[in-house]
A and B are shown apart, each in its own frame.
Chain A
């Protein structure tokens, strides 16, 4: 292909040919980029721009939008439900992201051994990833039910709880935490595999040298594994932050955002405003805030990644 192109572009001497050759040389890389650029424009940048414009309108998807200026953003500032959902989102991030960065790492270290039957355990830990979130949500709903498995087990430990079961999904104090448990359970296997791939690129002789030098397993984990896995850790932190900010299905299936918006995140509020209340303009304003939030998190994570890599 390359040789063919060279033959075609071989200079023939005339200035016109030379100019054409220059144009083709400059344009060729852009032509290769064109399909991806068109797809990105149609499915990402244009909708993003349109959503930004709609965020300044009163729009219900059925009649043409009416220009409102910054009224939707003013409403955001004074909307107590929006701030509740922001707080819930931050709590959700603070609970889910550290768990999804640390627990899969420990799990990956655990299954990164050549033991008989280890493939079974790797598959078993990965299994929740391939289960549909709707199915997982329904299953956990039964586990968290008043007469569910969790209350039964707790009742065995604390007999008082057998007579006073906790309605985990119906109490404002526990509903969001219950949803977080499902997100963590479902994500463990996915991030474990990412860590496992990273771990298997670390040569074993490094650990052998460390052992000869007298390093304990804990020291080996902290001083060797974590620094060498830093790119994977950063990737997991970024991806899990973004997916935590976009969490929807588990809330939809398990709590519907309730009770009293205790488990409504920003994305779920956006859904309620757009598809339940038909306030598409306001929902787009919420979407813009979410966009900025995800952008900030991604930038912060990338900065942390660069900082973490510097000593290496």
Chain B
């Protein structure tokens, strides 16, 4: 009897649980599912407020917000899309979004010229795959450079005279290594697509005009690869930077083991919490890049899966979330930059020289944003193309091949991958 009761209780609980998802539908409400990347719990009040204001304008529509860790959102999106239960609006990075778009899993957007002119052209570029716009640009970031002024001074370098490009950075790294025994910076070759970015920052052409073959194996590409391979062998960067990523560079910077960290202004908060002494001695410089002076931007976007049954509402929510007003409110609580051009020129993004460090960092990044470009546009099967180039970098750095041989092999691999498009 007791077993029977237990069984009935369990069965009833199961039924109640399975029905709970449909309770909103039963009430006649439309449910819109919105997934974001790593915003809970820090930005929960902002997001819930934003959604509540939108719901107030749309009676009968309820937004179900789910926040996922950055390293899980791709797999969750993939499995949700494969099972036909994709959310209506997702916050993704352009590389993964382009992967989904290549598989026709995202709904192309029909934009008016007015809405196009609202956002930065480079931010739209990051959301354009095969000529179709697949998402709304949300928040942006441009990397600036953080300097440990103590190390900088100990190396006999002048604070405020920051490197403008990688060659000047390498010269500074040499002085730092010789005078302090420390490393200048961590190149973070372990980041997927790092060499693709390095080539693009030097304006090395990536594809031929017909987009069927690689175009980076010419003299300019070889020169760039030779520079990085030689830098690695000169001992001016840690040997393990070959496989280390940006996160490990941050750890070394916070521990006072490297002098320079390329990072978005948002990382300053982390340094303030983990290493307050270092925080008070940080100098700020512009993004260090290639000889061409090209400044890159990182874009976060909002996309609508093809499977969404509420795509009109989803697009409306995307417009609300990415509006200038909403983004300015978001930028006030986290050091990110807006994708709306007029908003980026707001006084909030300006700071006098004696302003607090984080305000100056925000102003520096916002100033860079006006001339920032999208270094690498979304490419077909981009993760495989990026991997081929990362391997080329590693082969050259480990002296398994000459830079020319390494790039030739990568170019062959690109041709094979692109041939399947």
Residues A169 and B398 in contact, CB atoms below 8 Å apart: no
A225, chain B: closest CB distance, angstroms:
43
Q: Is A232 engaged at the interface, CB distance under 8 Å to the other chain? A: no
- In this complex, what residue of B is CB-closest to A148? B240
The interface bits of chain A over 247-283 (1 if a CB of B lies within 8 angstroms of the residue's CB, else 0) are 0000000011011110000000000000111100000
B101, chain A: closest CB distance, angstroms:
10
The interface bits of chain A over 47-78 (1 if a CB of B lies within 8 angstroms of the residue's CB, else 0) are 00000000000001111000000000000000
Residues of chain B with a CB closer than 8 A to A259's CB: 242-243, 394, 398
- In this complex, what residue of B is CB-closest to A272? B387
Residues of chain B with a CB closer than 8 A to A261's CB: 391
Please judge, given known A-B contacts A62-B82, A167-B239, A260-B391, whether A278 and B103 are in contact too, CB under 8 Å: yes
Residue positions of B touching A, CB distance < 8 A: 74-75, 78-79, 81-82, 99-100, 103-105, 190, 238-244, 257, 381, 383-384, 387, 391, 394-395, 398, 400
Q: Is A155 engaged at the interface, CB distance under 8 Å to the other chain? A: no
Which residues of chain A from 68 to 114 have any CB-CB distance to chain B below 8 Å in the complex? none
Residues A60 and B190 in contact, CB atoms below 8 Å apart: no
Please judge, given known A-B contacts A61-B81, A62-B100, A63-B104, whether A170 and B244 are in contact too, CB under 8 Å: yes
22 contacts between A and B (CB under 8 A): A60-B103, A61-B81, A61-B82, A62-B78, A62-B81, A62-B105, A145-B240, A169-B240, A169-B243, A170-B241, A170-B242, A170-B244, A175-B243, A256-B243, A258-B394, A259-B398, A261-B391, A275-B74, A276-B383, A276-B387, A277-B384, A278-B78
The interface bits of chain A over 163-174 (1 if a CB of B lies within 8 angstroms of the residue's CB, else 0) are 001010111100
In order of increasing CB-CB distance, the 6 nearest A-B pairs are A167-B239, A167-B240, A62-B103, A61-B82, A170-B240, A62-B105
Contact among B103, B241, B398 for A172, CB-based, below 8 A = B398
Residues A146 and B240 in contact, CB atoms below 8 Å apart: yes
Residues of chain B with a CB closer than 8 A to A60's CB: 103
Apart from A147-B257, A170-B244, A275-B78, what 10 extra A-B contacts exist at CB < 8 Å?
A: A61-B82, A62-B81, A63-B105, A146-B240, A167-B242, A169-B243, A170-B242, A259-B394, A260-B394, A276-B383
Residues A63 and B384 in contact, CB atoms below 8 Å apart: no
Listed residue (A61, A256, A261) with the most chain B CB atoms within 10 angstroms of its CB:
A61
C-alpha spacing A63/B400, complex, angstroms:
40
Please judge, given known A-B contacts A146-B240, A277-B383, whether A256 and B104 are in contact too, CB under 8 Å: no
C-alpha spacing A60/B380, complex, angstroms:
14
C-alpha spacing A258/B244, complex, angstroms:
10
Which residues of chain A from 271 to 300 have any CB-CB distance to chain B below 8 Å in the complex? 275-278
Contact among B75, B104, B190, B241 for A62, CB-based, below 8 A = B104
Residues B238 and A167 in contact, CB atoms below 8 Å apart: yes
Residues A258 and B243 in contact, CB atoms below 8 Å apart: yes
Residues of chain B with a CB closer than 8 A to A275's CB: 74-75, 78
C-alpha spacing A258/B387, complex, angstroms:
11
- In this complex, what residue of B is CB-closest to A254? B243
A73, chain B: closest CB distance, angstroms:
17
Residues A255 and B243 in contact, CB atoms below 8 Å apart: yes
- In this complex, what residue of A is CB-closest to B75? A275
Residues of chain B with a CB closer than 8 A to A278's CB: 78, 99, 103
C-alpha spacing A71/B228, complex, angstroms:
38
C-alpha spacing A170/B100, complex, angstroms:
32
Listed residue (A60, A147, A175, A259) with the most chain B CB atoms within 10 angstroms of its CB:
A259
Residues of chain B with a CB closer than 8 A to A167's CB: 238-240, 242
Residues A260 and B78 in contact, CB atoms below 8 Å apart: no
Residues B243 and A170 in contact, CB atoms below 8 Å apart: yes
Residue positions of A touching B, CB distance < 8 A: 60-63, 145-147, 165, 167, 169-172, 175, 255-256, 258-261, 275-278
Residues of chain A with a CB closer than 8 A to B100's CB: 62
Residues of chain A with a CB closer than 8 A to B78's CB: 61-62, 275, 278
- In this complex, what residue of A is CB-closest to B307? A62
C-alpha spacing A145/B381, complex, angstroms:
33
C-alpha spacing A262/B103, complex, angstroms:
31
A147, chain B: closest CB distance, angstroms:
7
B387, chain A: closest CB distance, angstroms:
8
C-alpha spacing A256/B188, complex, angstroms:
14
C-alpha spacing A59/B381, complex, angstroms:
14
- In this complex, what residue of B is CB-closest to A260? B394
A65, chain B: closest CB distance, angstroms:
11
Residues of chain A with a CB closer than 8 A to B400's CB: 260
C-alpha spacing A258/B257, complex, angstroms:
24
C-alpha spacing A166/B400, complex, angstroms:
18
C-alpha spacing A146/B257, complex, angstroms:
12
Residues of chain B with a CB closer than 8 A to A175's CB: 243
Residues of chain A with a CB closer than 8 A to B190's CB: 256, 258
A117, chain B: closest CB distance, angstroms:
38
C-alpha spacing A260/B400, complex, angstroms:
10
A98, chain B: closest CB distance, angstroms:
28
Residues of chain A with a CB closer than 8 A to B384's CB: 277
B47, chain A: closest CB distance, angstroms:
27
Residues of chain B with a CB closer than 8 A to A169's CB: 240, 243
C-alpha spacing A146/B242, complex, angstroms:
12
A93, chain B: closest CB distance, angstroms:
23
Residues of chain A with a CB closer than 8 A to B257's CB: 147
C-alpha spacing A60/B240, complex, angstroms:
34
C-alpha spacing A259/B141, complex, angstroms:
29
C-alpha spacing A34/B239, complex, angstroms:
58
Residues A170 and B381 in contact, CB atoms below 8 Å apart: no
- In this complex, what residue of A is CB-closest to B99? A278
C-alpha spacing A165/B398, complex, angstroms:
16
C-alpha spacing A171/B100, complex, angstroms:
34
Residues of chain A with a CB closer than 8 A to B395's CB: 260
Residues of chain A with a CB closer than 8 A to B238's CB: 146, 167
Residues of chain A with a CB closer than 8 A to B103's CB: 60, 62-63, 278
- In this complex, what residue of B is CB-closest to A168? B240
C-alpha spacing A304/B243, complex, angstroms:
41
A88, chain B: closest CB distance, angstroms:
15
Residues of chain A with a CB closer than 8 A to B82's CB: 61-62
C-alpha spacing A122/B81, complex, angstroms:
48
C-alpha spacing A277/B74, complex, angstroms:
12
B391, chain A: closest CB distance, angstroms:
6
Residues of chain B with a CB closer than 8 A to A171's CB: 239
Residues B242 and A277 in contact, CB atoms below 8 Å apart: no
A252, chain B: closest CB distance, angstroms:
10
A294, chain B: closest CB distance, angstroms:
24
- In this complex, what residue of B is CB-closest to A175? B243
B385, chain A: closest CB distance, angstroms:
10
Residues of chain A with a CB closer than 8 A to B243's CB: 169-170, 175, 255-256, 258-259
